[in-house]
Structure 1
Amino acid sequence: MSFLKQLFNFYINSSIHVALAVYALVWITLLKLGVDYNENLLYFIFYASITGYNFVKYFGIARFHHRRLADYLKWIQVFSFICFVLMCYYGFYLELKTLAVSLVMSVLTFLYAIPLSSNRRFTLRNINGLKVYVIAFTWAGVTVMLPVVELNLEMNADIVLMMLQRFLFIVVLMLPFEIRDLKYDTASLATLPQKLGIKGAKRLGVFLLALFFVLEFFKDETRLSYIFVMLVIAIITGIFVAFSKVSQGKYYSAFWVESLPIIWLGLLLLFR
């Protein structure tokens, strides 16, 4: 049992789970665009997500405490390097313009974690109120724009609406994390729960989920099954937001909330 728990913790801490969530959202985009499963793109984004997230999470530890790294962090470093190599391998088969867009997203990730000046706290993450929007924009860009660019699709109103929906969904998905982190975040971060209070942030989440769902009706092309699944995922996400609290279980946000894109994909595959 101890081994299984350690394995599960490695699965969470090494960013495999969050990478699967990103992978699921990209596949959802492909399904909604009516295109085939794209192995090179999906695997590239999966391994890039692991590499990027582990860089953000462990950059400071690796930089300042390298000699005293715990064994499991060293394993995560090795695992991240393997994922980086695999990311490069699958990236070799992608369009140059796709890689260019990926580079832009990588720079955002870099600036999110790395200080912009000699002041170590001056990163995009620490700019007043910017954190959630940087994350949501990056996720929307990776999970919608990268497939569109790679597939040489023309930008149209439906794709713009999909981008907006994805942005709204990620903002809402971040709320349980921001509520959990209220006891750690400094007031200067100006997160939504800090500015609006927990109840206010939850109300905003419900409103954004309603907007996320309603936008589907403004698309030129959609399906009844897509609308049904979006309603279900909006309700499930709303429930998770409603039950979010500062003192939440260890895996409430890190596993269950981050599982919502995977659940969304599962429902789409089931009802398509």
Structure 2
Amino acid sequence: MKFLKRVFAFYINSSIHVALAVVALLAITVLEYNLTIVKPFWGFLFLAALTGYNFVKYAKVAGLHHRSLTHSLKLIQVFSAVCFALLIYFALQLRLAVLLLTIGFGMATFLYAVPVIRSKNLRNFSGIKIFVVAFVWAGVSVILPFVASKVAITPDVLLTFFQRMLIVVALILPFEIRDVPYDGLNLKTLPQQLGVKNTKLLGLIILLLCLVVEFFKEYSEISYLASLLIFCVVLGWLLVISKTHQTRYFASFWVEGLPLMWLLLYLLFEQF
């Protein structure tokens, strides 16, 4: 049992779970617009998300405590290094346009973690943390696959991009609520500025707006809309029951894994 707990902890802490969530959002876009994506792109995006998240989470810790890192963190470092090497391998098989756009999103991730603007990183600029993450997630899961598949970006795609940003903001809110006791007041996160109760209300409004956006698209599948509706209801429920003192994996497993549930629902409804 201890071994399984360690494996599960590594699965969460090494960002495998969040990388799968990003790939799930990519798969939803591919299904919605019937895109054709080369196989290396899937591996590239998974590894980019994994190494990017590990960089954001552990770069500062590793820099400050390099010689006294715990065994688990050293293991994550080695794992991330191997993944980065594989990332380069997949990157060499992709078009230059895809790589340049990825570098753009990667720079946003880099600036999120590294203090280069007035000795601050983007995370420390009041109120913009959540929108940086939403922009990057939406960009790599909606815009990037269109560039990779050489398909024109239509107004419907831009609506999906906006919709995906709303979804990611709503997904982050349970994390923001969890981190209230630990975040510095200078971050001015939504729960700090609005309070936990009003943040939950805002999240529900965002999810409602996300559903409304779907009706402005020129073309919308019933299977996509049905899966999106269930996803929003489940996320809304998890948001409502979110607390500042959560169980260990409430946000990092259950909330973060919701895109995987959404993808499975979409695939299921596609069969009917």
TM-score, structure 2 as length reference: 0.97
Distance in 1 between the 2:107 and 2:37 partners? 27
- Contact 2:30-2:36 at 8 Å conserved across structures: yes
Are 2:259 and 1:261 aligned? yes
Aligned to 2:22: 22
Give CA deviations for 1:69-110 in whole Å, capped at 9, x if unaligned: 111111101100111111111111211101001001111111
Q: Secondary structure at the match of 1:245?
A: coil
Q: Say whether 1:247 aligns with 2:252.
A: no
Give how far 1:40 is off. Answer: 1.5
Per-residue deviation at 1:117? Answer: 5.1
Given that residues 166 and 207 in structure 2 are in contact (C-alpha distance below 8 angstroms), is that contact kept between their aligned partners in structure 1?
yes
Does the 8 Å CA contact 1:124/1:130 hold for their aligned counterparts?
yes
Measure the CA separation in 2 of the matches of 1:229 and 1:97: 32
Asked if 1:68 corresponds to 2:68, the answer is yes
Amino acid corresponding to residue 115 of structure 2 in structure 1: P
Are 1:27 and 1:37, in contact at CA under 8 Å, matched by a contact in 2?
A: no
User: CA separation in 1, counterparts of 2:250 and 2:203?
Assistant: 17
For residues 130-141 of structure 1, what are the structure 2 equivalents within 5 Å?
Answer: 130-141=128-139
Runs of 4+ in 1 over 6 A off after TM superposition: none
Partner of 1:89: 89
In structure 2, distance between residues paired with 1:269 and 1:38: 20
Kindly indicate whether the alpha-carbon contact (under 8 Å) linking 2:37 and 2:149 is maintained by their aligned counterparts in 1.
no
Q: Which amino acid aligns with 2:121?
A: T
CA distance in 2, matches of 1:201, 1:10: 31
CA contact (8 A) 1:182 1:246 kept: yes
Match of 1:202 among 200, 203, 213: 200
Question: Structure 1 residue 44 and structure 2 residue 71: aligned?
Answer: no
Mark the runs of 5 or more structure 2 residues left unpaired by the alignment: none
- Which of 167, 170, 192 is residue 168 of structure 2 equivalent to? 170
**2:35–2:146 contact (8 Å) kept in structure 1:** no
Aligned residues: 270
Distance 1:14 1:91 in 2: 21
Cα deviation for residue 156 of structure 1 reads 1.0
Question: What is aligned with 2:143?
Answer: 145
Which amino acid counterpart does residue 43 of structure 2 have in structure 1?
Answer: Y
Assess if the C-alpha contact under 8 Å between 2:179 and 2:244 holds in 1. yes
The whole-number CA distance in structure 2 between the counterparts of 1:132 and 1:149 is: 25
Name the amino acid aligned to 1:43. G
**Structure 1: 5+ residue runs without aligned partners?**
none
State the partner residue of 1:180: 178
1:226 aligns with 224
1:16-38 per-residue CA deviation (whole Å, 9 max, x = no partner) reads: 00000001001111001112454
**Cα deviations across residues 1-49 of structure 1 (Å, max 9, x unaligned)?**
0000000000000000000000100111100111245421111000011
Contact 1:27–1:42 (CA<8 Å) still a contact in 2?
no
Deviates more, 1:8-17 or 1:83-92: 83-92
- Tell me: CA distance 1:242–1:48, structure 2 relative to 1, closer, same or farther (3 Å): same
Aligned-partner Cα distance in 1 for 2:224–2:5: 36
Partners of 1:271 and 1:146 in 2: how far apart?
A: 25
Taking only aligned residues, the RMSD between alpha carbons, in angstroms, comes to 1.0
Name the residue aligned to 2:191.
Answer: 193
Aligned partner letter, 1:96: L
Q: TM-score, normalised by structure 1?
A: 0.97
Q: What does residue 8 of structure 1 align with?
A: 8
**What is the alpha-carbon distance in structure 1 between the residues aligned to residue 188 and residue 62 of structure 2?**
27
Find the partner of 1:216 among 214, 217, 221: 214
